[in-house]
Amino acid sequence: MYDLIIIGGSAASATAGIYAARRKLNFKIITKEFGGEVATSGEIGNWPGQIHTDGIKLAQDFKDHLKSYGIDPEEGVWVQKVTKTEEGNFCITTMKDSQPVIAADKLDSASEPAFKCDYEAKSVIIATGVHPRMLDVSGEKEYRNKGVSYCTTCDGPLFPGKVVATIGGGNGALESAIKSLFDKQESKIQRRRYFGGENSVFAECGSDLRRSNRRNHGRAICEGDEV
């Protein structure tokens, strides 16, 4: 029985692990792979305390910090289900070193397997983070961190004065375009038919951006001069 199970493997889970260790809790960190979205980042210049680093090094710094407290995250673990026992504790069912399967609550009752409790804990912290929605177009993976980015706040300053194409039509895309204009970058939003963002956010974009908008663009390819 653990005091705490932390699910996830990036900045949030590392922080939770450090605090749990300082409080002398009996706990474990379980994750598919350590590093999370941070590990997929290229150049990083906005992490306090480090003037310049990259995603792989920063993820390793997280792991080294945990190891200084004797914490070794268990990787290769897919969480299938979290339930509560009759005693009020949490039961975590997992798969190891395999692709995740359909969640148990999505299976027919007749085909639902008998789930075992791989980890039992008094508390659970889910710190799995988020991942960007991929376009799934040719060249996207090839040019990731080489011109293709998913975070305007993080990577926008790397492209001063450049033409930036913001793909999407929700609040995230509109706010990205606003940030690009603030950085004096030319920004275009490409969207199929309509904007899904709030009118108030769209209004902040200004007439110049609205005139440069290209609508009704389908999925195509990402191209560049070099990789």
Which part of the chain is CATH 3.50.50.60?
2-126, 135-227
* Helix and strand element counts for the chain (H, E): 6, 10
Q: How far is CA 177 from the centre of its chain?
A: 21
CA-CA distances (angstroms) from residue 51 to 54, 55, 65, 162, 163?
A: 10, 13, 18, 23, 26
Class of domain 135-227: alpha beta
**More confident position, 68 or 199:** 68
Tens-digit pLDDT profile for residues 188-218: 555 555 566 666 766 666 554 544 454 444 4
Burial class, 154, CB count within 10 angstroms (exposed 0-12 / middle 13-18 / buried 19+): middle
**For residue range 120-138, what is the model confidence (pLDDT) as tens digits?**
999 999 998 877 777 778 8
Model confidence at 155, pLDDT cuts 50, 70, 90, reads confident
pTM of the model: 0.64
CATH 3.50.50.60 fits 2-126, yes or no: yes
Q: What is the 3-state secondary structure (H, E, C) of 180-211?
A: HHHCCCEEEEEECCCCCCCHHHHHHCHHHHHH
Kindly state the tokens that stand for 29.
């960190």
Predicted pLDDT of residue 70: 95
User: Residue 168 is encoded by which pair of tokens?
Assistant: 């999407």
Which residues are CB-contacts of 193 (< 8 A; sequence separation ≥ 6)?
215, 216
Which DSSP state fits 86?
T
The more confident residue out of 170 and 104 is 170
Structural contact between residues 117 and 82, judged by C-beta atoms closer than 8 angstroms = no
Which are the contacts of 186, defined by CB distance < 8 A and separation ≥ 6? 162, 163, 164, 180, 212
Which whole number is the average pLDDT over 98-111?
A: 44
Q: What is the mean pLDDT of the chain?
A: 76
Backbone φ, ψ for residue 60 (5° rounding): -70, -35
